[in-house]
Structure 1
């Protein structure tokens, strides 16, 4: 399972990027990923203070290339 997040620079909101975080979670548990990933997102946000997370989703690894 991957967390795909879309983040934009705080000082330049038009500058955005997608990030992919490998998240250890069973493929059959997308709801668990959505709730458990909050800690991972907070850690990413803390280590990237110049970026603001706009949206995010959980994507199984086998569907990653189709969801981008």
Structure 2
């Protein structure tokens, strides 16, 4: 599973982009992704303090992700 992120730079809020977190497990269940997403998002945010997560969602690895 992947967590797809819409993020913006804190110092320049109009500068936004998309990023992803590749979860280490292969479960295809959105419920499993949602259950594990909080800790993954917190870790990502701690590693990227200059960015703010505006939106996120879970997606199955190997699918064509739609826009956030």
TM-score with structure 1 setting the length: 0.86
RMSD (Å) for aligned C-alpha atoms: 1.3
Cα shift at 1:25: 4.0
Give the structure with the higher percent helix: 1
Give the structure with the higher percent strand: 2
Alignment of 1:50-65 (within 5 A): 50-63=50-63, 65=64
Match of 2:6 in 1: 6
SS at 2:27 equivalent: coil
Report the Cα distance in structure 1 between the residues aligned to 2:16 and 2:54, rounded to whole angstroms. 9
Q: Which blocks of at least 5 consecutive residues in structure 2 are unaligned?
A: none
Cα shift at 1:37: 1.0
Cα shift at 1:11: 1.1
TM-score with structure 2 setting the length: 0.86
Equivalent residue pairs, number: 66
Q: Which blocks of at least 5 consecutive residues in structure 1 are unaligned?
A: none
Cα shift at 1:35: 2.2
